A and B are shown apart, each in its own frame.
Chain A
Amino acid sequence: MRVLVDKNVVRRWFESVIRTNLGQPLTKEQELVVSILATARSQGVEIYVTLETYNILTRILRNPQVAKAIIANSDTLYRSKPFRGWLRNLREATTLTGEDAKVLAYATFGTNLPGTFVGCEKVVTLDRGLANEFQLKKENLEARLHRLKKRLPAPYQEARLPQVVLLESDSPLDST
């Protein structure tokens, strides 16, 4: 199973690496993120970050030690050809921010560098707005994706809408 974690989840992950290595206790949110990623990894779930997040870790942050902890435990999603068209659809059909729409576009039409798959099964986020808007517009998005896929060549017809999993600090996982 492939899971895409959004930027804010990666931020908590990143901060938990720092806190752990400074000997500081983790916040509830950081523990939640770390625990769910650890359990996922322990059972062979592949964790992905977007190319933008990967670029933050590799080109903006100057501390390779901390970034390496995340890079070594995740893979990067790149944009496949239908990414732009699907992103336009997401922007038209929802009130999602540009960044949130991109997360969903990656989860639907992202791929690895050799291009051996299309999309992820789940998106893990701490963003209630993203989860709610996705749930609200899911049917419309399904219909739009169906129409888009009719015009695409074979490998891209494998694309599916992901499941959006909302991590919350007060309660266990809630999926929409």
Chain B
Amino acid sequence: MMEVWDGQIFKAALRLHCTAGILELTQSQVVVRVAPKLKKAFEKQCDAMGLKPSETLRSLMLAFTRLEMRHQILTGEEPLTRDLTVSKYMAMSERDRMLLWDNWYQEAETYSKNSEVAVKKIAGSRR
């Protein structure tokens, strides 16, 4: 599952950043040509998160090239909650899904009460 997820998120991320871009593959190197506007957007996103754009793109490329085809793990008929399947959930409107999560949040709050953790000693510098 971990491998599938890792591969899939990297693939999705790469698709986002390379939309309208060109991917050139040779035996020794991978060249990604991206529209300047996308490059700028990618760099701005990375910057806001304190990430280095060049290293980030390299990490994405490496993960992408390691990606192997894997079988799909969901059919849609699996239960998501007591009375909802994955397919039914995905067929709901954006607003209904949002409201459903709000209800789940309220239910989840009841499990979260009285769960205080004491901080005794902070490991290393915070920032």
* Listed stretches A13-21, A88-96, A131-139, A142-150; interface member: A13-21
Q: Is B96 in contact with chain A by the CB < 8 A criterion?
A: no
**Chain A: minimal CB distance from B34 (Å):** 13
Among B5, B81, B97, B123, the residue within 8 A (CB) of A69 is: B5
CB atoms of A43 and B51 under 8 A apart = yes
**Chain B: minimal CB distance from A142 (Å):** 15
- Contacts known (A31-B15, A69-B5); A22 close to B74, Cβ less than 8 A: yes
Per-residue interface assignment for chain A, residues 39 to 74, with 1 indicating a CB less than 8 Å from any chain B CB and 0 otherwise? 110110100001111011001111101101100110
Cβ–Cβ < 8 Å partners of B24 in chain A: none
CA of A162 to CA of B112, assembled, Å: 22
CA of A30 to CA of B120, assembled, Å: 38
Among A53, A117, A165, the residue within 8 A (CB) of B49 is: A165
User: A interface, how many residues as a size bin?
Assistant: 35 or more
Per-residue interface assignment for chain A, residues 152 to 174, with 1 indicating a CB less than 8 Å from any chain B CB and 0 otherwise? 00011010100001000001111
Q: Is A37 in contact with chain B by the CB < 8 A criterion?
A: yes
CB atoms of A23 and B72 under 8 A apart = yes
Per-residue interface assignment for chain B, residues 95 to 127, with 1 indicating a CB less than 8 Å from any chain A CB and 0 otherwise? 001100100110111011001111111110011
Give residues in A with beta carbon < 8 Å to B: 1, 3, 7-8, 11, 15-24, 26, 30-32, 34-40, 42-43, 45, 50-53, 55-56, 59-63, 65-66, 68-69, 72-73, 78-81, 83, 99, 111-113, 115-119, 121-122, 155-156, 158, 160, 165, 171-175
Give residues in B with beta carbon < 8 Å to A: 1-2, 4-5, 8-10, 12-13, 15-17, 40-42, 44-52, 55-56, 59-60, 63, 72-76, 78-82, 86, 89-90, 97-98, 101, 104-105, 107-109, 111-112, 115-123, 126-127
